[in-house]
């Protein structure tokens, strides 16, 4: 062996080099799942969760809502100013920033992006959020790092809306392929996966001056089946599950408690409402019930919300106290409390409208037995179970409820077109903290005013009051004034109960031990909001 | 004459495919939820955007017009654009057919292999205990829901095809076992045994030929079963094939995609059964 | 011996189902919300489900529905297959070709939308009994096609067989010939169809529950009980949860063992 010491040391050196390079150059690839398929990669047209995930990871934005402390932070814009009338915002941009393909970033790109976004033919939720009034939106480039955007009418919560706008390049031949975010879309296998690779031109550096992101790639599997997602996670093939179901949470927690995170109540609520549409093909006497505030309040008092949270969500939810979750610290009206479970009080309230119990069956003043059906979407086991628990609760006050689960398109047809239903249970997913995003739910003339869409004029005094208050908060610039108006809206909603809010679900997630730097929060995206600072410890897989 | 028979079959295949495409369009169009889109529930969308969404569905309302335009375009190779995925149907099918083909063919082969193994050994062994045991074993797989089979196939690292095999095998086995049992009870078997022929020879020359027509029909039908099973198995296992596409299309009421998938499935079903018929005819004419 | 044992087992299961009322420790709707997902105990022989309902009671009540309706639907689909497939093969020629073309078309259409349409036409507060009857009727009407082809092939072969020629020669014809001489010889295929359809329909009924058809909550059926198994990733999650599956396998096996006269002749 010592006859060729040079060869031997070369061999050892080569071996050491191979070992070292395996550790040093091992691709740090984060893996998790998308539950739906992205239909397009245009960040201005995101309409489902998968597209929003890709936009978050690849898009560069002017300002960013810090998902942890809910404050607004500068990103591509170093500073910004909103005019006193709320119609104009001017940004001072960061200089020396390039897109992923090397094209320079300047104010012209911001102007171009806004022009594309506000194109009336686009019809995207992101763009529509800026549409405060009719008229065109103009963007003026004052200098390569200074841009002003003017809107026809004041936009409430204007600066926070820019968290959703990913800036496109006006010059790059790659169009939306050139990005400013920490990653770019490298590969897409339809139905199977999306591969994001590290953007070498990302402008952000950490406090030591090292360029972000730390990860080399993110691999997104398209996997709608949650059982298989959990299986892959347990096997170590996935690094995180962004939103975990409560029964999987408990199962994982039993085996590996350090991997699961319950960040507390999220912004999401589950709600039930009655069909109050005048032209609905339901019997007249049912319409009278559903349009009576006493009836709705009585139902709200007959549901055991604690049981819903405890039994259906295994304690990972809490009774809701209105349209805003307490997790929304600024906008939640602290004076509101969830409805207390009080069947006796409910029966008293019903008696005011002439309802009475006859042989254990509740009847209205004309002798009709109180029976109605609840529809919800199939495949969501939480809603199915909540409906069954509510069915049982209402049976105690003599109401017969039938539960029907429908496929989603049939459900949507019933609640938006044919109005052939009695009551429905669905959930509200809030991406935004600002209630202005829910404007179309509260305006009586809107299509999304679920219990009675597209009213020509408000059919009740309280709906007229809500219309007035929502318009007031939209045109006010001062946050405390806006909060005052919206607090009142929340109070009216709880009083009149057009929606019966059931629970606020907790934000549950799972992160594997090999991921470093993850801080699960309640705002979406819960686990990878700081993707540019996440890293993987090699060898721990 | 074989040639005339094949020509007649091909003509009837064309007619059936055209009829199938039309009927599937009728079914999809008439089912509730056709005009809807999950996106319209997003409260951030303005009224103009929601009505624009609704308008985009209106172009498919006229069924005859849609069907005729579809036929015209498909003759030129343009199979339309998928409404739910926003991509040309031709590209979608081209990307996904190989995956489904692999899964279905492997699953079918494995399913038949299992069925033949159990069925033929039961026929040769001819003990009641073994017979009952095989029936109960196939019964177990028949009773397992597709979700359980899909999970099993993922757990065993054989995504998709194991699930399809376990769905196909009990059905094929049951028919095969009954047909073989009946064939064994025919009088000429007794004669063959009396003449001293071996069991293997009896199986090969006196039993299988008797049940060949039904077994061939079974083979043709098992293709339908496998293709139908591909939909839940691919969806549950997360395999990017035509089955998963079909499920997404059904949920999204995607008319162009569904019509094309029906045409594809009809072609496969008809070809499989035509193949079985042709082989059966050849065997019969040879036998006669 | 095996046959009498299986028949006895089926009878016992049927009796349990029939007397589910007095035998069940709790009503199938009663929710013991303090003890959801409980393990088996003296009060709850098979524990409780996700919202605290007694699993044993739900199994008894569910058996009543599934045990009665699934075989009935299987019988109906077998009869349909015999009529369409068997008759087509027996008549042969252009009848057979048309019928088989129809069968192939039937196998390829997306019937899911018919089911969604039916659900859309039915009122939302339909009684659970009517809903489940309609569901199994639909399953029977949609489930006959696969075996029709095999029956057609079988009947075709019989058409040219010796004994049939002889029967025809002795003057028997038409319906009598078909019913008495052809159908009984198609029995192996018919029995296979019947036996396979029972679990297939029970599982399909559960899937139809996703469309709003099938059994409506809170009524249980084997299908809906089996669907609850979906979240189980391992047996350690509670092996007692497999009881509906085990019962289904046993019942299906007993049906087969009790009905099959044909064993491999020795």
**pTM to 2 decimals?**
0.90
Q: Inter-chain contact A124–B49, Cβ cutoff 8 Å? A: yes
B145 contact residues in C (CB cutoff 8 A):
203, 206, 226-227, 229-230
Return the residue of A nearest to B243 by Cα.
A191
Closest Cα of chain C to B265: distance in Å? 6
Q: Tell me the mean pLDDT in the region A493-519.
A: 94
Confidence at A7, pLDDT banded by 50, 70, 90: low
Q: Residue A194's pLDDT is what?
A: 94
Alpha-carbon distance of A427 to A437, in angstroms, equals: 16
The pLDDT tens digits of the residues spanning C76-114 come to: 999 999 999 988 888 888 888 889 889 989 988 988 889
Choice between B147 and A210, residue whose per-residue pLDDT is larger = A210
Closest Cα of chain C to A506: distance in Å? 19
Q: Inter-chain contact A124–B50, Cβ cutoff 8 Å? A: no
Q: Tell me the mean pLDDT in the region A288-293.
A: 95
Q: Residue A507's pLDDT is what?
A: 94
B6 contact residues in C (CB cutoff 8 A):
none
Q: Residue C126's pLDDT is what?
A: 83
C211 contact residues in A (CB cutoff 8 A):
378, 406-407, 410
The backbone torsions φ and ψ at residue A253, rounded to the nearest 5 degrees and listed phi first, read: -60, -35
The answer, for A421 touching chain C at a CB cutoff of 8 Å, is: yes
Q: Residue A540's pLDDT is what?
A: 45
Cα-only R_g, chain C: 22
- Please check the confidence at residue A22 and state whether its pLDDT lies above 70: no
Interface test with C, best of A251, A405, A419 (most C CBs within 10 A): A405
Alpha-carbon distance of A228 to C230, in angstroms, equals: 11
Closest partner residue to A412 (CB to CB) among B33, B155, B244 is B33
Helix (H) or strand (E) segment spanning residue A262? strand A260-274
Return the residue of B nearest to A441 by Cα.
B43
Q: Inter-chain contact C120–B31, Cβ cutoff 8 Å? A: yes
How buried is A540 (Cβ within 10 angstroms: 0-12 exposed, 13-18 middle, 19+ buried)? Answer: exposed
Say what angle helices B2-30 and C93-108 make with each other, to 10 degrees: 40
Chain A residues 199-258 with a CB less than 8 Å from chain C: 227, 230-231, 247-248, 251
Closest partner residue to C212 (CB to CB) among A231, A247, A404 is A404
Q: Residue B155's pLDDT is what?
A: 82
- Please check the confidence at residue C149 and state whether its pLDDT lies above 70: yes
- Phi/psi-derived region of residue A230, left when phi > 0, alpha when psi is between -120 and 50, beta in every other case: alpha
Whether B244 and B208 have beta carbons less than 8 Å apart is answered as no
Q: Residue C263's pLDDT is what?
A: 56
Interface test with C, best of B144, B145, B183, B266 (most C CBs within 10 A): B145
Q: Tell me the mean pLDDT in the region A223-234.
A: 87
Q: Residue B129's pLDDT is what?
A: 84
Closest partner residue to B145 (CB to CB) among C108, C150, C203 is C203
A421 contact residues in C (CB cutoff 8 A):
124
The pLDDT tens digits of the residues spanning B80-131 come to: 888 888 888 998 899 899 999 999 999 999 999 999 999 888 888 878 888 8
Q: Residue A12's pLDDT is what?
A: 66
Q: Across-strand partners of A369? A: A363
3-state percent helix, strand, coil for chain C, nearest multiple of 5: 70, 0, 25
- Please check the confidence at residue B142 and state whether its pLDDT lies above 60: yes
Confidence at A11, pLDDT banded by 50, 70, 90: low
H/E/C letters for each residue in chain C? CHHHHHHHHHHHHHHHHHCHHHHCCCCCCCECCCCCCCCCCCCCCCCECCCCEEHHHHHHHHHHHHHHHHHHHHHHHHHHHHHHHHHHHHHCHHHHHHHHHHHHHHHHCCCHHHHHHHHHHCCCCCCHHHHHHHHHHHHHHHCCHHHHHHHHHHHHHHHCCHHHHHHHHCCCCHHHHHHHHHHHHHHHHHHHHHHHHHHHHHHHHHHHHCCCCCCCCCCCCHHHHHHHHHHCCCHHHCHHHHHHHHHHHHHHHHHHHHHCCCCCCC
Say what angle helices B255-287 and B2-30 make with each other, to 10 degrees: 150
Helix (H) or strand (E) segment spanning residue C156? helix C145-159
- Please check the confidence at residue A8 and state whether its pLDDT lies above 70: no
The answer, for A126 touching chain B at a CB cutoff of 8 Å, is: yes
Please state, rounded to an integer, the average pLDDT across all residues of chain A.
90
Q: Tell me the mean pLDDT in the region A40-46.
A: 89
Confidence at A24, pLDDT banded by 50, 70, 90: very low
Choice between A445 and A26, residue whose per-residue pLDDT is larger = A445
Confidence at A26, pLDDT banded by 50, 70, 90: low
- Please check the confidence at residue A376 and state whether its pLDDT lies above 90: yes
Q: Kindly report the number of other CB atoms within 10 A of residue B76's CB atom.
A: 7
Closest partner residue to A413 (CB to CB) among B33, B42, B48 is B33
Which stretch, A220-229, A282-291, B50-59, C189-198, has highest mean pLDDT? A282-291
- Please check the confidence at residue A368 and state whether its pLDDT lies above 60: yes
Closest partner residue to C104 (CB to CB) among B31, B185, B269 is B269
Q: Which residue has the tokens 């029906």?
A: B262
Max Cα–Cα distance, chain C, nearest Å: 76
Which stretch, A393-402, B185-194, C177-186, has highest mean pLDDT? A393-402
Return the residue of C nearest to B178 by Cα.
C188
Say whether A90 sits in a helix, a strand or coil.
Answer: strand
Q: Kindly report the number of other CB atoms within 10 A of residue A143's CB atom.
A: 10
Domain ranges of chain C: 2-38+47-265
Say whether A182 sits in a helix, a strand or coil.
Answer: coil
Q: Inter-chain contact B31–C192, Cβ cutoff 8 Å? A: no
Alpha-carbon distance of C224 to B152, in angstroms, equals: 20
Return the residue of A nearest to C215 by Cα.
A404
Neighbours of chain B (3+ CB pairs under 8 A): A, C
Q: Residue C265's pLDDT is what?
A: 47
Interface test with C, best of B6, B177, B214 (most C CBs within 10 A): B214
Interface test with A, best of B27, B30, B32, B44 (most A CBs within 10 A): B44
Alpha-carbon distance of A250 to C233, in angstroms, equals: 13
Which stretches of A429-541 are assigned E, i.e. beta strand?
499-511, 515-516, 535-536
Angle CA B10–B16–B22, to nearest 5: 140
Neighbours of chain C (3+ CB pairs under 8 A): A, B
The pLDDT tens digits of the residues spanning A267-288 come to: 999 999 999 999 999 999 999 9
Strands A423-428, A260-274: pairing kind: antiparallel
Which stretches of chain C are assigned E, i.e. beta strand?
none
Alpha-carbon distance of A220 to C178, in angstroms, equals: 60
What is the Cβ-side half-sphere exposure of residue A48, based on CA atoms within 13 angstroms? 14
Q: Across-strand partners of A374? A: A403, A423
A190 contact residues in B (CB cutoff 8 A):
85, 87, 92, 95-96, 240
How buried is C102 (Cβ within 10 angstroms: 0-12 exposed, 13-18 middle, 19+ buried)? Answer: middle
Alpha-carbon distance of B50 to B47, in angstroms, equals: 5
Q: Which CATH superfamily groups domain C2-38+47-265?
A: MetI-like (1.10.3720.10)
Q: How far is CA B281 from the centre of its chain?
A: 23
Give the DSSP per-residue string, B11-73. HHHHHHHHHHHHHHHHHHHHSTTTT--GGGG-TTS-HHHHHHHHHHHHTT--HHHHHHHHHHH
Q: Across-strand partners of A363? A: A356, A369
Q: Residue A541's pLDDT is what?
A: 43
Return the residue of C nearest to A380 by Cα.
C210
Residue B104 makes CB contacts below 8 A (sequence gap 6+) with B161, B164, B223, B226, B227, B230
Residue A387 makes CB contacts below 8 A (sequence gap 6+) with A374, A376, A401, A403, A405, A425, C217
Closest Cα of chain C to B78: distance in Å? 22
B42 contact residues in A (CB cutoff 8 A):
47, 125
Q: Inter-chain contact C150–B19, Cβ cutoff 8 Å? A: no
- Phi/psi-derived region of residue A32, left when phi > 0, alpha when psi is between -120 and 50, beta in every other case: beta
- Please check the confidence at residue B212 and state whether its pLDDT lies above 60: yes
- Token readout for B51 is 């009505």
Residue C179 makes CB contacts below 8 A (sequence gap 6+) with none
Alpha-carbon distance of A361 to A103, in angstroms, equals: 72
The answer, for A83 touching chain B at a CB cutoff of 8 Å, is: no
Q: Inter-chain contact B135–C116, Cβ cutoff 8 Å? A: no
The answer, for A227 touching chain B at a CB cutoff of 8 Å, is: yes
Please state, rounded to an integer, the average pLDDT across all residues of chain B.
86
Q: Inter-chain contact B265–C108, Cβ cutoff 8 Å? A: yes
- Token readout for C228 is 């609850």
Q: Residue C266's pLDDT is what?
A: 41
Say what angle helices C187-209 and C243-259 make with each other, to 10 degrees: 160
Q: How far is CA B286 from the centre of its chain?
A: 30
């Amino acid at each position: 062996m010592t006859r060729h010491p040079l060869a031997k040391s070369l061999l050892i050196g080569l071996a050491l080099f191979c070992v070292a390079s395996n550790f040093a150059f091992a691709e740090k690839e984060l893996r998790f799942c998308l539950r739906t398929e992205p239909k397009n990669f245009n960040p201005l047209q995101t309409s489902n969760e998968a597209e929003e995930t890709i936009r978050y990871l690849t898009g560069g934005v002017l300002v960013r809502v810090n998902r942890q402390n809910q404050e607004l932070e500068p990103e591509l814009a170093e500073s910004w100013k909103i005019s006193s009338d709320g119609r104009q915002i001017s940004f001072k941009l960061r200089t020396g920033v390039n897109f992923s393909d090397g094209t320079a970033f300047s104010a012209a790109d911001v102007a171009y992006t806004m022009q594309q976004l506000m194109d009336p033919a686009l019809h995207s939720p992101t763009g529509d959020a800026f549409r405060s009034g009719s008229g065109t939106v103009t963007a003026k480039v004052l200098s390569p790092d200074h841009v002003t955007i003017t809107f026809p009418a004041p936009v409430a919560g204007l600066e926070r809306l820019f968290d959703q706008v990913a800036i496109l390049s006006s010059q790059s031949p790659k169009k939306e392929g050139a990005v400013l975010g920490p990653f770019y879309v490298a590969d897409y296998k339809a139905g199977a996966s999306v591969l994001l690779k590290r953007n070498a031109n990302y402008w952000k550096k950490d406090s030591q001056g090292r360029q972000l992101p730390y990860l080399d790639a993110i691999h997104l599997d398209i996997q709608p089946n949650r059982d298989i997602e959990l299986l892959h996670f347990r096997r170590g093939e996935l690094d995180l599950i962004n939103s975990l179901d409560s029964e999987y949470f408990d199962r994982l927690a039993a085996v590996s408690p350090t991997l699961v995170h319950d960040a507390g109540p999220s912004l999401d609520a589950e709600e039930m409402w009655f069909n109050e549409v005048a032209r609905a093909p339901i019997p007249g006497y049912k319409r009278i019930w559903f349009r009576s505030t006493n009836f709705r309040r009585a139902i709200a008092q007959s549901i055991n919300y604690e049981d819903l949270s405890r039994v259906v969500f295994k304690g990972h939810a809490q009774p809701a106290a209105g349209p805003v979750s307490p997790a929304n610290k600024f906008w939640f009206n602290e004076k509101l409390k969830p409805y207390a479970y009080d069947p006796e009080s409910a029966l008293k309230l019903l008696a005011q409208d002439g309802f009475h119990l006859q042989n254990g069956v509740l009847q209205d003043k004309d002798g009709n037995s109180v029976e109605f059906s609840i529809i919800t979407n199939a495949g969501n086991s939480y809603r199915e179970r909540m409906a069954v628990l509510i069915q049982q609760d209402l049976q105690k006050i003599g109401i017969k409820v039938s539960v029907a689960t429908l496929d989603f398109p049939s459900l949507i047809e019933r609640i938006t077109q044919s109005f052939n239903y009695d009551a429905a249970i669905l959930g509200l997913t809030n991406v935004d903290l600002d209630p202005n995003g829910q404007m179309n739910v509260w305006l009586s003339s809107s299509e999304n005013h679920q219990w009675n869409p597209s009213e020509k004029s408000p059919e009740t005094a309280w709906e007229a009051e809500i219309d007035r208050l929502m318009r007031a908060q939209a045109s006010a610039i001062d946050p405390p004034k806006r909060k005052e108006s919206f607090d009142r809206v929340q109070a009216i909603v709880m009083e009149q109960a057009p929606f019966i809010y059931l629970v606020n679900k907790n934000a549950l997630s799972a992160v594997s031990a090999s991921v470093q730097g993850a801080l699960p929060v309640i705002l979406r995206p819960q686990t990878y909001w700081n993707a540019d600072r996440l890293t993987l410890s090699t060898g721990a897989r | 004459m074989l040639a005339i028979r094949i020509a007649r079959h091909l003509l009837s295949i064309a007619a059936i495919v055209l009829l199938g495409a039309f009927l599937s369009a009728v079914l999809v169009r008439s089912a509730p939820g056709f005009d809807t889109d999950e996106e319209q529930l997003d409260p951030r969308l303005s009224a103009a955007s929601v009505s624009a969404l609704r308008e985009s569905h209106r172009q498919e309302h006229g069924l005859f017009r849609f069907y005729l335009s579809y036929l015209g375009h498909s003759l030129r190779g343009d199979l339309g654009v998928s409404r739910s995925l926003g991509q040309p149907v031709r590209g979608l099918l081209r990307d996904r057919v190989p995956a489904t083909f692999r899964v279905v063919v492997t699953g079918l082969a494995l399913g038949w292999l299992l069925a033949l193994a159990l069925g033929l050994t039961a026929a040769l062994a001819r003990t009641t205990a073994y017979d009952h045991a095989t029936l109960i074993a196939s019964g177990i797989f028949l009773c397992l829901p597709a979700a359980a089979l899909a999970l099993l196939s993922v757990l065993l690292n054989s995504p998709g095809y194991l699930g399809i095999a376990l769905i196909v095998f009990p059905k094929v086995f049951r028919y095969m076992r009954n047909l073989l049992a009946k064939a064994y009870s025919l009088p000429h078997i007794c004669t063959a045994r009396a003449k001293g022929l071996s069991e293997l020879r009896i199986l090969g020359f006196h039993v299988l030929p008797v049940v060949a027509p039904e077994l061939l029909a079974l083979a043709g039908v098992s293709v339908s079963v496998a293709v139908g099973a591909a939909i839940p198995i691919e969806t549950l296992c997360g395999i990017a094939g035509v089955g998963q596409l079909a499920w997404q299309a059904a949920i999204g009421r995607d008319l162009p995609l569904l019509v094309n998938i029906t045409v594809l499935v009809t072609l496969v079903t008809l070809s499989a059964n035509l193949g079985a018929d042709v082989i059966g005819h050849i065997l019969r004419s040879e036998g006669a | 011996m095996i046959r009498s044992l299986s028949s006895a087992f089926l009878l016992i299961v049927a009796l349990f189902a029939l007397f589910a009322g007095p035998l069940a420790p709790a009503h199938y709707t009663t929710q013991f919300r303090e003890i959801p997902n409980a393990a088996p105990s003296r009060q709850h022989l098979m524990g409780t489900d996700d919202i605290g309902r007694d699993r044993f009671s739900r199994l008894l009540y569910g058996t009543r529905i599934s045990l009665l309706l699934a075989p009935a639907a299987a019988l109906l689909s077998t009869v349909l297959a015999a009529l369409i497939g068997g008759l087509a093969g027996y008549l042969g020629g252009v009848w057979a070709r048309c019928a088989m073309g129809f069968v192939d078309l039937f196998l390829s259409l997306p019937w899911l939308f018919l089911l969604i349409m039916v659900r859309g036409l039915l009122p939302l507060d339909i009684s659970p009994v009517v809903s489940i009857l309609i569901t199994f009727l639909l399953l029977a009407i949609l489930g006959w096609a696969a075996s029709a082809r095999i029956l057609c092939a079988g009947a075709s072969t019989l058409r040219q067989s010796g004994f049939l020629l002889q029967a025809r020669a002795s003057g028997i014809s038409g319906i009598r010939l078909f019913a008495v001489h052809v159908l009984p010889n198609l029995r192996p295929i018919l029995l296979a169809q019947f036996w396979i359809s029972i679990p297939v329909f029970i599982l399909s009924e559960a899937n139809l529950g996703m469309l709003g058809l099938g059994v409506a909550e809170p009524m249980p059926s084997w299908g809906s009980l089996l669907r609850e198994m979906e979240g189980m990733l391992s047996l350690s999650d509670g092996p007692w949860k497999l009881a509906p599956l085990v019962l289904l396998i046993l019942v299906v096996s007993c049906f087969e063992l009790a009905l099959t006269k044909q064993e491999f002749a020795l």
